[in-house]
Amino acid sequence: MSDERFSVSTPTVPESAGGTPPERQIRLPLTPPATDELLSTLNPKSPVSEVLHLIKQRQHSADPSRQLKVRPSEYKSLLARLQQLPELQSFVNDKLRLEYNSLEEVLYIPRMPTAKHESFSERVSEETKAQLQRIKDGNDEAARFAARISSVRSGSIQLREIDSDDDTGIDRPYIQRQPDDQFQQDEAEYPGVVYEVACSQNSGDLRKAAWTYIQYSNANIKAVVGFELGYGTKKEARISMWKPRYLKDDGEGLETLDVEAVIDREVFRSSDGLAINTTKELHLPLDCFADSEVATFNSEELPGITITYPQLAEFLDKVERLQRTRQPVFGEESIGKKSRRRTKKRKRPPTPANQTV
pLDDT in tens, 180-239: 999 999 999 999 999 999 876 566 788 988 999 999 999 999 999 999 997 767 889 999
Q: What local confidence, expressed as pLDDT, does residue 46 receive?
A: 83
Residue 287 has pLDDT above 50, yes or no: yes
pLDDT in tens, 29-82: 444 444 444 445 556 678 888 888 888 888 777 677 788 888 888 888 888 898
Q: What local confidence, expressed as pLDDT, does residue 60 receive?
A: 75
Residue 146 has pLDDT above 90, yes or no: yes
Q: What local confidence, expressed as pLDDT, does residue 11 receive?
A: 35
In this prediction, residue 244 has a pLDDT band, given cuts at 50, 70 and 90, of: very high
Q: 100 with 77: CB under 8 angstroms?
A: no
- The rounded distance, in Å, linking the Cα atoms of 100 and 26 is 11
- Stretch among 28-32, 117-121, 258-262, 345-349 having the lowest mean pLDDT: 28-32
Q: What local confidence, expressed as pLDDT, does residue 343 receive?
A: 87
Q: What local confidence, expressed as pLDDT, does residue 8 receive?
A: 37
Q: 183 with 220: CB under 8 angstroms?
A: no
Q: What local confidence, expressed as pLDDT, does residue 149 receive?
A: 95
- Give the chain's mean pLDDT: 80
Three-state DSSP string of the chain: CCCCCCCCCCCECCCCCCCCCHHHCCECCCCCCCHHHHHHCCCCCCHHHHHHHHHHHHCCCCCCCEEEECCHHHHHHHHHHHHCCHHHHHHHHHCCCCEEECCCCEEEECCCCCHHHHHHHHHHHHHHHHHHHHHHCCCCHHHHHHCCEEECCCCCEEECCCCCCCCCCCCCCCEEECCCEEEEECCCCCCCEEEEEECCCCCHHHHHHHHHHHHCCCCCCCEEEEEECCCCCCCCEEEEEEEEEEEEECCCCEEEEEEEEEEEEEEEECCCCCECCCCCEEEECHHHHCCCCCCCCCHHHCCCEEEEHHHHHHHHHHHHHHHHHHCCCCCCCCCCCCCCCCCCCCCCCCCCCCCCC
Average pLDDT over residues 227-253: 86
Q: What local confidence, expressed as pLDDT, does residue 270 receive?
A: 95
Q: What local confidence, expressed as pLDDT, does residue 353 receive?
A: 60
pLDDT in tens, 74-115: 888 888 898 899 888 888 877 777 777 777 788 877 767 777
Residue type, 283: H
Helix 86-94, helix 47-58: angle, nearest 10: 70
In this prediction, residue 354 has a pLDDT band, given cuts at 50, 70 and 90, of: low
- The rounded distance, in Å, linking the Cα atoms of 295 and 192 is 10
Q: What local confidence, expressed as pLDDT, does residue 243 receive?
A: 97
Q: How far is CA 62 from CA 113, 117, 287, in A?
A: 9, 14, 39
Q: What local confidence, expressed as pLDDT, does residue 30 receive?
A: 43
Q: What local confidence, expressed as pLDDT, does residue 173 receive?
A: 64
Q: What local confidence, expressed as pLDDT, does residue 232 receive?
A: 67
pLDDT in tens, 296-353: 887 777 889 999 999 999 999 999 888 778 776 666 677 778 888 888 888 888 876 6
